[in-house]
Structure 1
Amino acid sequence: MADNLSKKMISCTVDFDRPGRQVGQFHVPFSGNDDAWGVVPVPIAVIANGKGPTVILEGGNHGDEYEGPIALGELIRDIDIEQVSGRLIVIPAINQPAVQAAQRNSPIDGLNLNRVFPGNALGTTTEQIAAFVHDVLFPLGDVFLDLHSGGSSLDILPSAVIEPGNTPQKHQDNMRAAMAFGAPVTVVIDNRGDPRTATASAARYGMTSVGTEMAGKGTVSIDALALCRHGIRNVLASVGAITRPVAASATPTRLCKLSPLAHVLAEDDGFLEPLHPLGTEVEAGQACARIHFLTQPQRRPVDLHYRASGIVYGRRQPGRVRPGNCVVVVASAYEGEPA
C-alpha cells in the first residue's frame, strides 16, 4: 500500500525506463502557509544505456555535506553515456529543504532524513522523501551509494563506509564495493545498530550498499572532493555499471570498524580542547580531550578518555559542547578478512 501511495502522491518528471540522459525532479506535495498546492521539487537524473545493473546514487541526505552533491552534479553533466552499462539513478540533493538551508535536518519538519527510513508515504515531507526512495526507487536498484560528509558538527577522516550486510555474501558484496572506492580508510559502521539509515534500509532490501564520509566541518575539502569524484566512478566500475578500470589507490585502504566503545561523549557543558589530530594512533584509557569552563576560571578542566584503541576517526567541530555530545570517535582494526 505504501508503494502505491508514494507513486500516487509523488509525481516524477523522468521516465525510469527510457534510455538516454534525463534530468528532472520528483515532486513531494507540500501545502505550506504560502502555497496551498505547492510541492518540494527534488532533483533527479536517469542515465541509462544498454544492459547492466541499476545503481542509485544519493547525496545531500544531510544538507550541510557538500562533496557528494557537487560530485554527483558533475557526474550527471559530464559522464559519457556510452560508458554506461545499465542505469544510473542520481539524486544529488535528496534532502532538498535541508540542502537549501545548509543544515543537517529539514527546516520544514526538523527531521533527520537519515533516521526516518523506510519513511511514511502519509508522513511529513522528510518521511515522504524517504518513502519515495524506499518504495519506488529501491525496487529498481541493485546497488546503492550514499555520499555523506562530516557536516557542520564533525571533522572526520575521508573514508568509505561498509554497511553490514544481512547475509555473509551480502556483507562481502558491500565490502568489495566500499573498498573499490579507493579511500585511505574504509570503516564498517552500523550507526549503533540504528536500522533507520538509508544504507541500512537499502541493505535490508537486498541491495549492495555503500556509504562515505568525506571530511566535514561544513566546508568543501579539496582533497576529499577529488577522492569523491574518483571514488564514485571506481564503485560504478567495480559493479559493472560503467566501462572503465577501477583506479588503484596510491596506498592500500586501511580496514577498520566502529566498535561499541568507539564514541566518547561529553558529560559537562563547556568548551572542548581536543588533544590529538585525526589519524593519530591512540590507546583505550588515554586522555583524548578536555572540557574547559570559561566563565568559571576557578574550576579545573575535565579530562575525557578514549574507550577503544585505534585511530582518531572523527572529532567534534564546534568548540562548545553539552552533555551527550559526541566529541571523539575512534576506528579500531577490523578483525575479519578483507573482501
Structure 2
Amino acid sequence: MKEAAPGRNTGSGLRSISQQHIPARNGERSTYFTDIDFDKQGKQAGFVYFPHSPHDDAWGTIRVPLAVIANGEGPTILLEGGNHGDEYEGPIALGELIRTLDPQSVQGRLIIIPAINAPAVDAGRRTSPIDGKNMNRVFPGDHAGTITEQIAAFVNDELLPRADALLSLHSGGSSLNIVPSTIVIPCPDKKQFQRCLDAAHAFGAPMCVVMDNLGDRRLCVTAAMAAGLTCVSTEMAGGGVVTPSALDLCRQGMLRVLRLWDVLAGDEASSNAASRKQPYFEMRGAKAYVIASEHGIFEPQAVAGAQVEQGEIAGRIHFLTAPGKEPVTLYFQEPGIVYSTRQYGIVHPGNTCAVVASPQSGHFA
C-alpha cells in the first residue's frame, strides 16, 4: 500500500463531511451530504446524498449507500462495487460484509460503497439511466457536473485521499463473458506495481491480467493508482446474471485480500511471497481486441478460456437481412487465452467481440 500520510489511520487530520459543504476542485461548492462520520469507531451504515431535481421531485436527492467499519489503528481500505449497475457479485458480497462483519475483527478502517452508481444498480444497467454516463469513464469527476460525475468527484476527492488501498469489484456485466480474474494496471513505480500484483494473486482468481484499458485514464482504479494506492480490480464472470461460483470466489477472495492488507485477522504472508513467483497475463494493446467491422450477428469460434493462436478465426459476422452477402471473418491478432467474449449476438462497427490475454513478457514488471 502507499506510504501512510501524517495522521493517516489515527483519525487526526481526516475531516468529517457530515452535514457539511466541501469546496470543490473547480471553484464550485459540492452539495453532497452524509450522516457518516469517517473518524468514528465502530460500524456505521448509511448513505451519501446528492441533490437531484427531476420533474417529479423538486427537492429530491439521489442516495448512494456508504458504510464505515473502524476499529483502532491500521490501514484504510476502500471497497467498491456497483460501478456498473449490471455487475452483481461485488454489490452482493459487499452488502454481506456490511451486515455481518464484527468491528472488533477489524484492525484499521473499511470504507465500503457497495453500489457506487446507485441509479445504474437500481436499473440493472451498465450506465446511469439519469445521465447515460459510465461511472468508470468520468473520473476524477466534476462536483458541478451530472449525477454520475458528482458521485465520481465525491469518491475521488473525499474517499481516495483517506485510503491506502482500493479493491474494486467488477464482472462482465450484460455484454461480456469474462474468465474470473483479477486486474492490475501497469505502473512505472515498481514497488507499487508489485504490491498490486501481490494482492491480485492473494485474491485467488484463476487468472491475473495486466491491462491499461487502451490508455484510458478515466477509471476509478487509475485515479486511485495516480494517488499512490495499492489497487486491485476483479472481473467475476458476467453475462448479466449472478454466477454462484464467481460470487463465492468474490466473497472468499475479498477476505483473503483484506487479511493480506492486515485489516482482518489471518495469515496471508504465504500468498504474498508466492505471488512474486506466479505468472500473469497481459493485454497487449489494441491487437488483443477483436473488433467488429460490420453491423450484423457475430458467430464466435472460441469460448472464454480457450487457447488460441495468432491468425486463428475468432468468428464471423452474418447479415441476416442480406442472405446473399457472405459473412465477414474476424481473426485473432495475438496468441493466448480468450479472456472475454461478447454476450450480445448483434454487433456494430467498433464493438469488441473478443479479447485475448497473452502470457507475460516482463514488459510491465
TM-score, normalising length from structure 1?
0.95
C-alpha separation in 2, matches of 1:198 and 1:139: 13
Is 1:200 matched with 2:214? no
1:35-85 CA deviation, whole Å, 9 max, x = no partner?
A: 122110000000001111000000000000000000000111112322211
What code does the residue aligned with 1:259 have? R
1:322–1:52: structure 2 CA closer, same or farther, 3 Å change rule?
A: same
Question: What SS does the corresponding residue of 1:9 show, helix, strand or coil?
Answer: coil
Match of 2:282?
257
C-alpha separation in 1, matches of 2:179 and 2:190: 27
Question: What SS does the corresponding residue of 1:237 show, helix, strand or coil?
Answer: helix
Match of 1:315?
341
C-alpha separation in 2, matches of 1:203 and 1:36: 38
Match of 1:149?
171
1:274–1:254: structure 2 CA closer, same or farther, 3 Å change rule?
A: farther
Match of 2:321?
295
Match of 2:18?
none
Match of 1:125?
147
Contact 1:177–1:238 under 8 Å retained in 2? yes
C-alpha separation in 2, matches of 1:57 and 1:73: 11
C-alpha separation in 2, matches of 1:146 and 1:7: 28
C-alpha separation in 2, matches of 1:143 and 1:274: 38
User: Which of 295, 308, 311 is matched with 1:285 structurally?
Assistant: 311
Contact 1:175–1:338 under 8 Å retained in 2? no
Question: What SS does the corresponding residue of 1:21 show, helix, strand or coil?
Answer: strand
Contact 1:265–1:325 under 8 Å retained in 2? yes
Match of 1:111?
133
C-alpha separation in 2, matches of 1:109 and 1:254: 41
Match of 1:49?
71
Contact 1:6–1:136 under 8 Å retained in 2? no
Q: C-alpha displacement at 1:300, in angstroms?
A: 1.7
Choose between structure 1 and 2: higher strand proportion. 1
User: Which of 180, 183, 186 is matched with 2:202 structurally?
Assistant: 180
Structure 2, unaligned stretches of length 5 or more? 1-22, 272-276
C-alpha separation in 2, matches of 1:257 and 1:97: 33
C-alpha separation in 2, matches of 1:55 and 1:280: 35
1:84-109 CA deviation, whole Å, 9 max, x = no partner?
A: 11000000000000001100100111
C-alpha separation in 1, matches of 2:206 and 2:290: 23
Is 1:31 matched with 2:53? yes
Is 1:324 matched with 2:350? yes
Where in structure 2 are the equivalents of 1:4-15 lying within 5 Å?
Answer: 8-15=30-37
C-alpha separation in 1, matches of 2:295 and 2:76: 47
Match of 1:210?
232
What code does the residue aligned with 2:339 have? Y
C-alpha separation in 2, matches of 1:174 and 1:149: 19
1:13-45 CA deviation, whole Å, 9 max, x = no partner?
A: 211000101100000111111112211000000
1:265–1:8: structure 2 CA closer, same or farther, 3 Å change rule?
A: closer
Contact 2:279–2:360 under 8 Å retained in 1? no
Contact 2:317–2:328 under 8 Å retained in 1? yes
C-alpha separation in 2, matches of 1:8 and 1:287: 51
What code does the residue aligned with 1:230 have? Q
Q: C-alpha displacement at 1:166, in angstroms?
A: 4.4
C-alpha separation in 1, matches of 2:259 and 2:361: 27
Q: C-alpha displacement at 1:253, in angstroms?
A: 6.5
Q: C-alpha displacement at 1:313, in angstroms?
A: 0.3
TM-score, normalising length from structure 2?
0.89
Q: C-alpha displacement at 1:8, in angstroms?
A: 4.6
What code does the residue aligned with 1:269 have? H
Q: C-alpha displacement at 1:164, in angstroms?
A: 2.1
What code does the residue aligned with 2:237 have? A
What is the RMSD computed on CA atoms of the aligned residues? Answer: 2.0
Structure 1, unaligned stretches of length 5 or more? none
1:208-239 CA deviation, whole Å, 9 max, x = no partner?
A: 11100010000001110010001111111111
